């Protein structure tokens, strides 16, 4: 069947129609105003879908951020297919198309209650057309692209649509509006006329070649012009299990992280964006909790320079990952990566190995076991690796994930223990979290305990040695209103302490939230904080520690503040959002405003500006500071295959100006040519500190990279 967005094949005339979509926003008690019809069929290689998205009032305009792949947002027109091929109502694949023919694909995890992983890329085909009273899309998804259990005679499926004209979200299988459109608890069965067989051998080779020109002005090293060659291999071991191999991986095309102002004593979490680590990433990354991750893939390929305290790249020789389903109840993952030695910082070659197994329990719950080993090797010039038995870090953990059949109850409980050569006690972390959600009520509670010597070196742990208790409650009304969709009050508290000092941190919050029918949102919070300086630190957190003026050891502080947040109607070409915090801060005061402005030149460009402004005023014996981040961004899409993004970030907290410009040409499905230019400078200020200018360069590079997806 040829994918052209025209429904003229006989298969479509004979196919059953899935229609009568129900609203899930702004209401969930009526049929959608903008109705949708879906037809599906298949052959031995592809699943085919044809969807018709009707309009009520004839021709109209549609909303899209650009022509760039992986669009998202509550106001952007689009149609999405959700396939739960494992029938576990926990993990699924999403394929979406908008009226301009832009594709997106994503991995859904944790029952659809987590954020989508839109960084996952794979090969499939689609076309869309805009007609007078509707728009249509046609999809062809290869069986080899997705993972599924052989011999199953049914999957779970759902379809959802976002319509900007009516500010409406609708789905084929009804979903209560308190949940997101990817909630898997409400999917229906997709029944095959015969059990699915193995789709046949599937081996994909994705080689790359890259040319670099890098000048490190800070280290005064010679210009690095060394080319690099490597790539990935994907091997389907059965329809539900996949082996991924990588040799000399290169991530130079990955978009830079968005910088933030850090006004805490702890490390900031940045999400993983590297393609190799994303498929089935939840199998490893979902263990633990947001502030206690036993495995954080960004630890691999990055290390810390002990002389400067800065993160630096650590080359990866290669690695392998086996992941997927072995039957309808068991899911497994095994990954091993070997990182290179770095003689400049006396770092030996490190092997990172992680193994995970997950067993389904009941309808949507599971229990998982994880083992992690970080092991040092002596890497001689002859590449003869020798184990260094006294340099290791290991972790063993068990997690239970709760998901009720109706999605009202969700939760997690885990116990993890780390091991190293010092064999210390109190090397554990544990958590119990439970939440209850229905349209009017949301309640959750979190209890945590982390030992003083818990040390997950391949994970993310901003702080150790603490106990935590954090309840949260929200009540919402849904009025019969053309303006307000729902509104209501809430309260939450967070208490953190340890056995040495008692309570070290606490906050108490009362808030009110309003969600409007046009997608705008308003939020106000009254907050009181408590902080104990259980070690001396400067609450302005200067990048240069030599100028710090610390609060006294064991001094404690209460401070009050008001927080306002507003997000405008995202359907408009010009839209904006801001959050402001005003009030006390430790023994002084703080005024903060964070926000963004965006203007859409539809469908080809988005101009945006993110900003963060903090004015911190402390008594004269301490530091006061004005912190500023400005991040203008141009995202231009010439066509659905040619994209150009330029991102500039100024951050005076770390005295840095960063320029990242990336041109991407997708000349074939999942095959790209990248040109990436990066420039870093010191951000200097005049003697009065009232304006900044670009100073001496830190690092400059340009990369030309070609990747090509080959199916064998």
Phi then psi for residue 680, to 5 deg, are -125, 135
Least confident range of 280-284, 568-572, 684-688 = 684-688
Q: How far is Cα of residue 158 from the mean position of the Cα atoms in its chain?
A: 23
The answer to whether residue 14 sits within a structural domain is yes
pLDDT at 649: 94
- Does 532 score more than 80 pLDDT? yes
Tokens of 527: 């907050």
- Does 570 score more than 70 pLDDT? yes
Local structure of 281: helix, strand or coil: helix
Q: What is the 3-state secondary structure (H, E, C) of 411-436?
A: EEEEEEEEEECCCCCCCEEEEEEEEE
Could you tell me the CA-to-CA distances from 569 to 164, 309, 476, 477, 515 in Å, in that order? 11, 42, 21, 21, 11
- Does 687 score more than 80 pLDDT? no
CB 638 within 8 Å of CB 656: no
Find the mean pLDDT for residues 532-537.
91
Q: How far is Cα of residue 562 from the mean position of the Cα atoms in its chain?
A: 29
pLDDT at 276: 82
The answer to whether residue 572 sits within a structural domain is no
Tokens of 311: 């993160």
User: Tell me: the pLDDT tens digits for 670-683?
Assistant: 899 999 999 998 88
Q: What distance in Å separates the CA atoms of residue 326 and residue 78, rounded to the nearest whole number? A: 34
The answer to whether residue 450 sits within a structural domain is no
- Does 712 score more than 60 pLDDT? yes
Place of tokens 């260094």: 388
Instruction: Specify burial of residue 343 (Cβ count, 10 A radius: 0-12, 13-18, 19+).
Output: exposed
Q: What distance in Å separates the CA atoms of residue 442 and residue 438, rounded to the nearest whole number? A: 6
- Does 472 score more than 60 pLDDT? yes
The answer to whether residue 48 sits within a structural domain is yes
Q: What distance in Å separates the CA atoms of residue 712 and residue 708, rounded to the nearest whole number? A: 13
Q: What distance in Å separates the CA atoms of residue 280 and residue 333, rounded to the nearest whole number? A: 8
pLDDT at 193: 87
CB 556 within 8 Å of CB 61: no
User: Tell me: the pLDDT tens digits for 541-565?
Assistant: 887 888 899 999 999 999 999 999 9
Q: What distance in Å separates the CA atoms of residue 35 and residue 51, rounded to the nearest whole number? A: 11
- Does 441 score more than 60 pLDDT? yes
User: Tell me: the pLDDT tens digits for 214-257?
Assistant: 998 887 888 888 899 999 999 988 777 889 999 999 888 888 88
Could you tell me the CA-to-CA distances from 710 to 44, 122, 237, 637 in Å, in that order? 20, 12, 18, 26
Least confident range of 44-53, 60-69, 594-603 = 60-69
Local structure of 534: helix, strand or coil: coil
CA angle at 496 for the pair 493 and 497, rounded to the nearest 5°: 145
Q: What distance in Å separates the CA atoms of residue 349 and residue 347, rounded to the nearest whole number? A: 7
Sign of the alpha-carbon dihedral angle for 54, 59, 63, 64: positive
Local structure of 74: helix, strand or coil: coil
- Does 462 score more than 70 pLDDT? yes
- Does 130 score more than 90 pLDDT? yes
The answer to whether residue 166 sits within a structural domain is yes
Percentage of residues of the chain with pLDDT beyond 90? 63
User: Tell me: the pLDDT tens digits for 481-505?
Assistant: 999 999 999 999 999 999 999 999 9
pLDDT band per the 50, 70, 90 thresholds, residue 199: confident
The answer to whether residue 448 sits within a structural domain is no
Q: What distance in Å separates the CA atoms of residue 372 and residue 369, rounded to the nearest whole number? A: 10
CB 561 within 8 Å of CB 581: yes
Q: What is the pTM of this model?
A: 0.88
Place of tokens 């070609």: 706
Q: What distance in Å separates the CA atoms of residue 324 and residue 540, rounded to the nearest whole number? A: 46
pLDDT at 385: 62
CATH number, domain with residue 172: 2.60.40.1190
Half-sphere exposure of 238 (CA within 13 A, CB side): 12
pLDDT at 115: 66
Least confident range of 39-43, 203-207, 220-224, 398-402 = 220-224
pLDDT at 692: 62
pLDDT band per the 50, 70, 90 thresholds, residue 422: confident
pLDDT band per the 50, 70, 90 thresholds, residue 691: low
- Does 308 score more than 70 pLDDT? no
The answer to whether residue 57 sits within a structural domain is yes
Q: Which structural domain range is residue 23 located in?
A: 10-191
pLDDT at 183: 92
Place of tokens 């190995």: 353
pLDDT at 683: 81
H-helix or E-strand spanning residue 581 = strand 574-585
- Does 588 score more than 90 pLDDT? yes
Place of tokens 């040409």: 665
Domain total for the chain?
A: 1
Q: What distance in Å separates the CA atoms of residue 485 and residue 282, rounded to the nearest whole number? A: 33
- Does 277 score more than 70 pLDDT? yes
Local structure of 12: helix, strand or coil: helix
Q: Share the mean pLDDT of the chain.
A: 90
User: Tell me: the pLDDT tens digits for 143-176?
Assistant: 888 888 777 789 999 999 999 999 999 999 999 9
Find the mean pLDDT for residues 410-431.
93
Residue 370: which of 293, 433, 287, 449 has the closest Cα?
Answer: 287
The answer to whether residue 46 sits within a structural domain is yes
Pairwise pLDDT comparison (635 vs 308), residue with the higher score: 635
Least confident range of 216-225, 356-365, 434-443, 684-693 = 684-693
User: Tell me: the pLDDT tens digits for 2-60?
Assistant: 788 898 888 898 899 999 999 999 988 899 999 999 999 999 889 999 999 999 877 88
**Strand 17-18, strand 154-163: pairing:** unpaired
DSSP 8-state secondary structure symbol assigned to residue 297? G
* CB-CB neighbours of 687 under 10 Å: 5
């Amino acid at each position: 069947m040829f994918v052209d967005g025209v429904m003229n094949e006989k298969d479509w005339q004979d196919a059953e129609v899935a229609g009568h979509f129900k609203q899930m926003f702004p209401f969930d008690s009526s049929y959608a105003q903008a109705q949708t019809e879906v037809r599906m069929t298949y052959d031995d290689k592809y699943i085919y879908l044809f969807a018709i998205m009707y309009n009520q009032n004839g021709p109209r305009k549609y909303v899209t951020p650009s022509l760039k792949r992986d669009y998202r947002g509550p106001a952007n027109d689009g149609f999405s297919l959700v396939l739960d091929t494992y029938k576990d109502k926990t993990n699924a694949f999403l394929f979406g198309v908008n009226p301009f023919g832009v594709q997106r694909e994503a991995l859904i995890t944790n029952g659809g209650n987590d954020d989508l992983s839109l960084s996952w890329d794979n090969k499939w085909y689609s076309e869309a057309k805009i007609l007078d009273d509707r728009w249509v899309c046609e999809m062809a998804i290869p069986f080899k692209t997705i993972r599924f259990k052989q011999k199953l005679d049914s999957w779970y499926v759902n379809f959802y649509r976002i319509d900007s004209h009516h500010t409406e979200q609708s789905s084929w299988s009804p979903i209560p509006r308190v949940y997101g459109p990817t909630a898997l608890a409400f999917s229906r069965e997709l029944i095959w006329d015969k059990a699915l067989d193995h789709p046949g051998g599937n081996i994909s080779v994705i080689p790359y070649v890259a040319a670099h020109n890098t000048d490190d002005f800070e280290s005064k090293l010679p210009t690095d012009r060394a080319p690099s060659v490597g790539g990935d291999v994907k091997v389907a071991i059965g329809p539900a299990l996949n082996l991924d191999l990588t040799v000399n991986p290169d991530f130079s095309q990955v978009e830079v992280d968005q910088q933030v102002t850090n006004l805490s004593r702890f490390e900031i979490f940045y999400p993983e964006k590297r393609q190799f680590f994303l498929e089935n990433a939840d199998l490893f990354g979902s263990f633990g909790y947001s502030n206690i991750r036993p495995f954080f893939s960004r630890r691999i390929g990055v290390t810390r320079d002990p002389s400067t305290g800065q993160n630096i790249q650590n080359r990866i020789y290669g690695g392998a990952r086996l992941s997927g389903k072995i039957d309808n109840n068991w899911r497994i993952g095994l990954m091993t990566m070997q990182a290179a030695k770095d003689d400049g910082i006396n770092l030996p070659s490190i092997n990172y190995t992680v193994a995970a197994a997950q067993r389904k329990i009941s309808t949507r719950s599971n229990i998982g076991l994880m083992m992690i080993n970080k092991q040092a090797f002596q890497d001689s010039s002859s590449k003869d690796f020798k184990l260094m038995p006294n340099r290791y870090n290991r972790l063993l953990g068990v997690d239970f994930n709760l998901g009720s059949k109706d999605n009202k109850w969700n939760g997690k409980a885990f116990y993890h223990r780390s091991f190293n050569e010092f064999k210390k006690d109190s090397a554990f972390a544990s958590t119990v979290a439970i939440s209850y959600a229905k349209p009017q009520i949301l309640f959750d509670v979190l209890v945590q305990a982390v030992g003083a010597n818990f040390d997950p070196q391949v994970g993310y742990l901003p702080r150790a040695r603490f106990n935590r208790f954090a309840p949260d409650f929200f009540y919402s009304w849904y009025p019969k209103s053309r303006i307000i969709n729902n509104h209501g009050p809430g309260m939450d508290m967070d208490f953190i302490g340890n056995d040495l000092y008692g309570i070290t941190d606490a906050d108490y919050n009362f808030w009110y939230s309003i969600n409007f029918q046009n997608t705008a949102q308003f939020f106000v919070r009254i907050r009181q904080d408590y902080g104990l300086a259980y070690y001396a630190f400067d609450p302005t957190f200067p990048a240069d520690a030599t100028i710090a003026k610390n609060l006294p050891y064991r001094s404690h502080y209460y401070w009050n503040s008001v927080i306002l947040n507003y997000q405008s109607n995202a359907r408009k070409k010009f839209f904006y959002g801001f959050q402001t915090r005003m009030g006390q801060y430790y023994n002084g005061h703080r005024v903060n405003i964070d926000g963004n402005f965006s203007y859409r030149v539809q469908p080809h460009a988005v101009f945006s500006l993110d900003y963060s402004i903090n004015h911190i005023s402390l008594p004269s014996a301490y530091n006061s500071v004005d912190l500023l981040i400005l991040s203008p961004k141009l995202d231009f899409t010439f066509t659905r295959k040619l994209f150009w993004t330029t991102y500039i970030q100024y951050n005076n907290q770390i005295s840095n100006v960063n320029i990242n410009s990336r041109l991407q040409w997708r000349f074939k499905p999942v095959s790209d040519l990248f040109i990436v230019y990066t420039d870093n400078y010191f951000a200097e200020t005049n003697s009065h500190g009232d304006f900044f200018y670009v100073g001496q360069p830190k690092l400059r590079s340009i990369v030309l990279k070609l990747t090509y997806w080959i199916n064998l």
